[in-house]
Amino acid sequence: MPFFLSLPHIEDCAKRVRVYISGVCIVDTRKAKLLQPNYPTYFFDEQDLPNWYLEVSDVTDELATYNVGVSVKGRKALTRYFTNELSGLFTIAFDKMDAWFEEDEQIFVHPKDPYKRVDILQSSRHVRIEVNGLEIANTRAPHLLFETGLPVRTYIPKTDCRMDLWEPSDTMTACPYKGEAKYYDIVLSSGETIKDAIWWYPTTTLECASIRGFVAFYDEEVDVWVDGEKQERPSKRP
């Protein structure tokens, strides 16, 4: 988060926001508000409550939770606030809905943070990666991904890597800025396995298309040299 924003920070959103479950649009508003805690979250004025789909679940003096009756998935999906700076607002659990749209563009995972930026730069730095002294990647054509508030990540062409040391993992994650990631385990001849040490995006959002098909290694799990200089390992994975 930028240093000039105190948390929680809430601001008006200029985008039209629509929320769908089971094919039904339960919210369609041009008056959404964006709250910035750890992840951006949409809040809405009570006038946009989809009352005809709601079933009360729990009520306290501070808030009420509702089941959204269109789908079993929508249980306890909506929270309405009665006190503090959120009084008169409600929010909907992002992952309990089937689709969210900003204008006519579908968004995923959570709303994008207007104060976060992702820059991907082609580089000619010489990057080498080792595990236990064994070289597993060597490239002079990395793409460096700079994302506000996060470590710089190096994306490497697969053809510059020891792909024979990888095994596909069942792990998948999603990012609203980059897309849906798949993972590989590193498996050494000794039998040592480093779980989910590599990730890549088979498809990406339009703005991150230049890393599609490239792979990134968790610097926390491997030894990295950049232009001949060994990099200090971060203490742990995020």
Q: What is the pLDDT of residue 5?
A: 53
How far apart are the C-alpha atoms of 157 and 208, rounded to whole Å? Answer: 15
How far apart are the C-alpha atoms of 44 and 66, rounded to whole Å? Answer: 15
Using the predicted structure, report yes or no on whether residue 7 has a pLDDT greater than 90.
Answer: no
Q: What is the pTM of this model?
A: 0.85
Task: Name the nearest CA neighbour of 221 among 126, 151, 143.
Answer: 151
pLDDT tens digits, residue range 179-234?
999 999 999 999 999 999 999 999 999 999 999 999 999 999 999 999 999 999 88
Give the contacts of 163 (CB within 8 A, at least 6 positions apart).
Answer: none
pLDDT tens digits, residue range 46-77?
999 999 999 999 999 999 999 998 777 889 99
Domains and CATH numbers, the chain: 9-107 (2.170.150.40), 118-230 (2.170.150.40)
Residue 3: band (very low, low, confident or very high) from pLDDT cuts 50, 70, 90: very low
